[in-house]
Chain A
Amino acid sequence: MFRSLRTVSAHCDIPCKVYDPAVALVSALSVVRLIDLILEIESPSSLANIAQLSRLVAEKENQAKIVKLEVSTIWGDYFKAPQIERHPGVHALVHQIMQTASACKQGVDRVAGEHLVKQLNEFAEMFWSSKGIATKMVVAPYPPALRVCMPALEDG
């Protein structure tokens, strides 16, 4: 009749997974900001400027790597058959983001940085749409003050 009491898991996951494209978006904004700062260095002739330039370039590459890691994680772990069925363009978009992020690592083209932010906005809109959550475009309240896609959440 009744068997012994067993435990059943209602954990969110092992480990828990909380997905949000905001991390990638902030990193993309950082890439643009770092490109701006690199372009502001008038001459890398002084030792101080060379040190500053090295630091900015290293951080730009790091932030672009974060973009790739965050987007590929959401794409690989969160997007499954039902989401992909509703958003078949996600594969092409993620591939484009990878390529643009690589271009941002390689160069100091601000247009590439802005393009990366634009692609991430598309990705964020797709992500939130897959959850049935509406989005809105807002201007980031810090440099480079570009428009970013955010979920339109209700007050808690």
Chain B
Amino acid sequence: MAEFFRVEGKSMLPTLRSHDVLLTFLPQNIKKEDVVVVQTHLGLVVKRIHEFHGETVILRSDNNVIESSICNTPIAVEDVVAKVHWRFRLPLSFARL
């Protein structure tokens, strides 16, 4: 199933900016370096998979100068709710992730 998300925040710069719209699909065959939407105690968060360990993943932000408490700690794969495939931005541009 496809779902659109709107991005808020700077932690995924330069890949994603605030107000970008993401087209996602259910997470199938996720792997290292995929950009994913994760359900966390902070709510829905978009991050990149830094390490993939089968049942858990380690996330990271693309913006290296800042840290997030959900990064560098194991996250259950079942908490990955979507995989980002396309990014749309105004003025109109899009990129496949």
**A residues engaging B (CB < 8 A)?**
1-3, 5-14, 16-19, 77-78, 80-83
Contacts and interface: CB of A to CB of B under 8 A. Distances in A.
A6 B44 contact: yes
Contacts of A2: 2-4
Nearest to A3: B3
Contact of B67 (A1, A6, A9, A18): A18
Contacts of B61: 10, 12
Most buried by B among A14, A18, A19: A14
A17 B63 CA distance: 13
Contacts, number: 94
Interface of B: 1-12, 16, 18, 21-22, 37, 42-47, 51, 58, 61, 63, 65-70, 72-74
Contact of A17 (B5, B6, B45, B68): B68
A94 to B, nearest CB: 17
B11 A12 contact: yes
Contact of B63 (A1, A7, A8, A12): A12
Contact of A8 (B1, B6, B67): B6
Most buried by B among A3, A6, A12, A78: A12
A80 to B, nearest CB: 5
Contacts of B74: 81
A13 B69 contact: yes
Enumerate the 5 nearest inter-chain pairs by beta-carbon distance, A residue then B residue, closest first: A10-B9, A12-B66, A11-B9, A8-B5, A10-B12
